[in-house]
Structure formats: structure tokens, C-alpha cells
Amino acid sequence: MGFHREIPVPIPAPLSIRDPPRSPSGVILASIPAPRSPVPIRKLSGRLLRITRIPKLGSAVSTKQTGRSKDPVINLDVSHHRAGKNFINVCVVEAVAAVRLLRIEKGKAFVDLLNETANDSGENEMGYVETLGFSTRYLEDRDIRLVTVVVAGTVRWKRYLDYLIMSLCSEEKLFREMEPLLLQILRIGFFEILKLGVPAYAAVDENVRLAKVALRPGAGNMVNAILRKLVLLKWMVRRWFRFLGKDETLRLMNWNNSDPHFSLRVNTSKGYTRADLVKRLESLQINYEESIMDEFVRIQEGMQARSGLDWFCCFFGDSAILQAGLLKEGMCAVQDESAGNYLYLVIMYDGPVTGLVVSVVGPKPGETIVDCCAAPGGKTLFMASRLLGQGKIWTVDVNKGRLRILKDAAKVHGLDDMITDIHADLRQFAKDTAAKYDKVLLDAPCSGLGVLSKRADLRWNRQFEDLEELTSLQDELLDSASMLVKPGGILIYSTCSIDPEENEKRITAFIQRHPEFVPQSVRGYVPTEFITDEGFYSSSPTKHSMDGAFAARLVRSVL
Ligand SMILES: C[S@@+](CC[C@H](N)C(=O)[O-])C[C@H]1O[C@@H](n2cnc3c(N)ncnc32)[C@H](O)[C@@H]1O
């Protein structure tokens, strides 16, 4: 038998109610369709399109129930992309592809088999597709070629597609126990969107219809939900592929989908040491791990941030840490070692994360510092604790509510004497202020793409257009922040993003606009594994098992 010949598969063409259509593995794929009744031909895009009455599938239907007059007519309008390319037979291409993929999975069909006129297995395949509720009569050669492209590509990318599908299922079990035809439909949808460049709306539409017709309405809803998630994520995944490569992107997606860990920073300004914190954690029988950063410990369990809500609503569930009052008494703060952002804990008046970005700032006793975009104050508090009671921090933020949280947190930590809060838009504040400061930190509003494991909602809310808006705001804020730096002073720019557009590219553009600033390596401020070739700080979820963040130091010339 030649390579291109198919081993015939026993797919029964005529099916009776007692013999429902099954996948090659024997799974019942749909209940019995009633006899089809052709309806008039409709003209579309200059071509004749035959609309087929399709019985509702998904539950056993009797001939009586599906008699001609009661048949629900499914509107099989040609979707725009196919119509534009003069394709007909909406969803049928996907239907044939799905059936062939099922057969391939069982080792009974070759990917590159085209018209299959040499034996009757091709006819069987088409007959089988008909039993799913589709007319294959008007499939043309180009449709069959498209089937081949879809099938070949789906087989080639199967592991990758499955990985993505699994990561977008609400739980792994859903993927593992997915019925075979449903899985093939999802694979086809993913392949069409990611690899064939089929417009997302069209791919979603067709595969949802296929699932509804061939399986049941609920299956269509599931395909709809998962494909839409992909569409929302697509721009992010594409970007990551471009600047991280495939393996790193897959690792990152895995990280973003895993349970986040949380870190605690001991509050040294109240005289506590990490040993004190560790002692309390041990007495509470809480699993911890000491971080590479002196003031931090990592907690693996018991604190969950609720996703889909705004940062005010983050909570710690029934955490023993919370119940023991460690946060309230100001012994520690919930902060990530990386750079921090506003995720955590506002309820306890403790600002977000800080960590290594504050090391990049390197606050020294006696210094004057402006923390632009400061609220809710994670970095402010950490910087203030490093000033050891000497020096001053001005905190600027446009958001009054968040600024109030910063103020309250400063009180709990006993640092309020050193902090002056300014409710203002940084751009206006910089114009109105003649004073110049030793250090200016701009922790810019950003996409948060480095903290997706903790901010699960961001992946669904962030649009590509946001990135464009954010980068121009970042440029404006950088220009304003730079006006506050004294000659010889330092400007620190940071984000909790891993996107070069918000990080390195903003610095490059800034230096072009402001030749009076020169980048200074962060060597000596953070461990070497966090230093990029250009001398910036960068933490990565996959490399360092912590939030992704970025920071750059820029020195203002003395002239
Ligand atoms: C990334 S968050 C800052 C997190 C903070 N540094 C911390 O560690 O807790 C960005 C902040 O920028 C503030 N912001 C946005 N646009 C601003 C503007 N034009 N002027 C001042 N603050 C602004 C937001 O209100 C938000 O609090």
C-alpha cells in the first residue's frame, strides 16, 4: 500500500436512530439528524449558495419532531472572509477537517489525502460529515484544499495548540476530559486564528456554529468562550513570541496561569528583623522561604488575590498572617521582591510591592526624593525605611483615594514624618515647582504585563491600543519627572511590565529628547542576574520566579 493511500475506515454512511453517529473512537458525536430538505438557492456574492435545513442536534430527535415544517432553519450565511474569497459551504470546511482529524487521531487517515476518489473512504468521510448536519455537495476543489491546509497545520501544531487550549480552559480537567470532536473544533479554531490569519470574528463564528450543529448549543458556548479568550490574549502572545521566542512565551503563559506566591517585607523602620518575622511565621506554622533580598520572605500558600477586581478589593482570604495581625501591627508588608505594583493589600493599609526597584533607587540617609506616581505607596514606604529617619520624600499622585491609602500606611509604619503627599497631576506639578531634588523616582502607569499571575484580570482587559496610549503618557511623565532632578541628581524610571516598548524603548526615546541625561548601570545596586546588557534592571517571572519589572537609572549632567 502506497504512502498516500488511505486505510479505509468503517464510517457508516447511512445511519439510523438506533445507530447514532460515532467518532472513530466510538463516542456518540451527535444525535440522529432528520432527513434534509433542500430549500431555495440564495444568491450571494454573485454565487449560488444552497441553504440546507439543519435539524437541531444534541438530543435525540425523532423524525416526527423534525418534520419539515418544524425544522429549525439555521442561518448559514456566508461569513465575510469566506464570502470575500468566494468560499461557500460555511463551516463545512471545518466540519470535514474535524472529522478527518478524528480519523487521523485514530491512525486511519493521512493528512495529505485530497479528494479521496480512489476509494470510497472519502465518500464515507463526507457521508459522515453529512450526518453531522452539513451539506458537502457543493464543496469545491479549493474547499478541499483548504481542508488539507487546516488538517495538516492542525496536526503539525497539535501540541502547541493543545497547550494553549489547556491554558485557556478554566481547569485542566476540562481539557483532559474534553470530548474528541469538541477538541478538534477548538484546535481548528486556534489554528485558523493563530496560523492562518483568519479574521478572529469569522473563525469564532464558524467554529461556534460547527460545535452547535454537530454537538449541542452548550458545546458552541464553550468554543465561543475559549476562542474569545484567545482573541483577547492574541496580541499579547504575539508580542511575546516576537521578543521572547516560543519556548519562553510558553513558560511565561504557564507562570501566569499558576498560583502566585506572595512575599512579605519585614518593617525594619519599626525595629523588626527578618529573624523576628521568621520566628512569628514558624510559630504560626506558615511555610516560608527566605528571599535573596535581606528583608523578604516568600509565602507559598494562604494568601490569594481575587482576580477580576480592582486593586482595592485584593484580599487575603483566611490567611493566618492576616488573622495574626502581622500586617496591622506594622511588622511586615506584603510586597514582591521585584518592583512592585499596586496589587496588594490595601485593606491592611499596606502598600504594594517594591523590592529591587528601591534597590535601584538606592535611597541614602539625608536625601531628598520625589516619588512621582507614588500611590498607594509600596515603594515610598520601603524607600522611607531606608532613609533611617534622615531625609524627606514627596509623594505625587493624581489619585486622591490611593494617596490617602499611602498616608494611612505611612502612619501604620511610623514613617509619616518623613513623607509629604501632593495630590496633583505630575505634569502640572513639575511645571509649577522650582525646587530640584536629589533623586526622582517615576514608577510609571503601565500595562502590568509583568504581573499577570497576580493580576489575572489584566489579561482580559488590556488591549493593544492601551499600550500605545500608555507609552505616550510614559513619555510625557518622564519629561515632567526629569524637570525635578537637580544637576548631578538621579532619575529612576520603573514599570511592572516586561514589554520593551514600555521599558528600554522609552529610555532610548527619552535620552534622544534629553541629552542632559545619561544612563548609569544598576551594577552594584541589584544582583548581577537582574542586570541587562544595557545596564538596566529587569526581573522576569520565568527566569527569577518573581514579578516582571524594569528600572533604569539616569544621571543628570552637572552643567
Ligand atoms: C504603577 S502605579 C504606582 C505604584 C506605586 N509606585 C507603588 O509602588 O505603590 C501608577 C500610579 O500613577 C498614578 N498616575 C497616573 N497618571 C498620573 C499623573 N499624570 N500624575 C500623577 N500620578 C499619576 C496613578 O494614580 C497610580 O497610582
Per-residue model confidence (pLDDT) at position 533: 97
475 is in an annotated binding site: no
Per-residue model confidence (pLDDT) at position 90: 64
More confident residue, 406 or 269: 406
425 is in an annotated binding site: yes
CB-defined site of ligand 1, < 6 Å: 340-342, 351-352, 354, 373-379, 396-399, 402, 425-427, 443, 445
Specify the range with the lowest mean pLDDT, choosing from 8-12, 124-128, 233-237: 8-12
Contact 266, 275 (CB under 8 A): no
Structural domain spans, the chain: 38-253, 262-556
More confident residue, 515 or 67: 515
Q: Kindly list the catalytic residues.
A: 496
ipTM higher than 0.95? yes
**Cα 525 to ligand 1 centre (Å):** 24
Contact 39, 52 (CB under 8 A): yes
What is the per-residue pLDDT across 159-192, written as a single tens digit (0 to 9) for each? 989 988 988 887 888 999 999 999 999 999 999 9
**Cα 444 to ligand 1 centre (Å):** 6
d(CA 194, CA 186): 12
d(CA 151, CA 129): 15
Looking at the structure, give the CATH architecture of the domain made up of residues 262-556: 3-Layer(aba) Sandwich (3.40)
Average pLDDT, the chain: 76
Contact 544, 338 (CB under 8 A): yes
**Cα 514 to ligand 1 centre (Å):** 23
Per-residue model confidence (pLDDT) at position 440: 98
Query: Does position 265 have pLDDT exceeding 70, yes or no?
Result: yes
| Position in ligand 1 atom list of the atom nearest CA 443 | 6
What is the per-residue pLDDT across 400-422, written as a single tens digit (0 to 9) for each? 999 999 999 899 888 999 999 99
**What percent of the chain is predicted at pLDDT more than 90?**
41
Mean pLDDT value across residues 471-481: 98
Q: Which of 98, 90, 31 shows the shortest CA–CA distance to 60?
A: 31
d(CA 259, CA 268): 29
Element holding 410 (H helix, E strand): helix 400-412
397 is in an annotated binding site: yes
Backbone phi and psi for residue 166, each to the nearest 5 degrees, phi listed first = -60, -40
What confidence tier does 135 reach under pLDDT thresholds 50, 70, 90?
confident
439 is in an annotated binding site: no
Q: Which of 171, 194, 191 shows the shortest CA–CA distance to 240?
A: 194
Q: Which of 120, 180, 113, 182 shows the shortest CA–CA distance to 151?
A: 113
Nearest CA to ligand 1 atom 17: 398
Burial 225-264, CB ≥16 within 10 A → b, else e: ebbbbbbbbeebbebbeeebeeeebbbbbebbbeebbbbb
d(CA 181, CA 98): 7
Nearest CA to ligand 1 atom 24: 373
Per-residue model confidence (pLDDT) at position 111: 56
**Cα 486 to ligand 1 centre (Å):** 22
Supply the DSSP symbol for 535.
S
Using most ligand atoms within 8 A of CB, pick from 353, 398, 415, 473 the residue to mutate for ligand 1. Answer: 398
271 is in an annotated binding site: no
What is the per-residue pLDDT across 353-380, written as a single tens digit (0 to 9) for each? 357 899 999 999 999 999 999 999 989 9
The fold adopted by the segment(s) 38-253 is: N-utilizing Substance Protein B Homolog; Chain A (1.10.940)
Q: Output the pTM of the full model.
A: 0.63
d(CA 347, CA 316): 9
Per-residue model confidence (pLDDT) at position 278: 93
Per-residue model confidence (pLDDT) at position 450: 84
**Hey, how many other C-beta atoms are within 10 angstroms of the C-beta on 329?**
12
**Cα 121 to ligand 1 centre (Å):** 64
| Position in ligand 1 atom list of the atom nearest CA 448 | 1
**What percent of the chain is predicted at pLDDT more than 70?**
73
Find the DSSP H helices in 26-136: 80-84, 92-105, 121-131
Residue 383's Cβ-side half-sphere holds a number of Cα atoms within 13 Å equal to 33
Residue type, 465: E
What is the per-residue pLDDT across 37-58, written as a single tens digit (0 to 9) for each? 332 222 222 222 232 323 332 3
Query: Does position 157 have pLDDT exceeding 60, yes or no?
Result: yes
Query: Does position 32 have pLDDT exceeding 60, yes or no?
Result: no
What confidence tier does 550 reach under pLDDT thresholds 50, 70, 90?
very high
| Position in ligand 1 atom list of the atom nearest CA 403 | 27
d(CA 251, CA 257): 10
Per-residue model confidence (pLDDT) at position 28: 34
| Position in ligand 1 atom list of the atom nearest CA 371 | 6
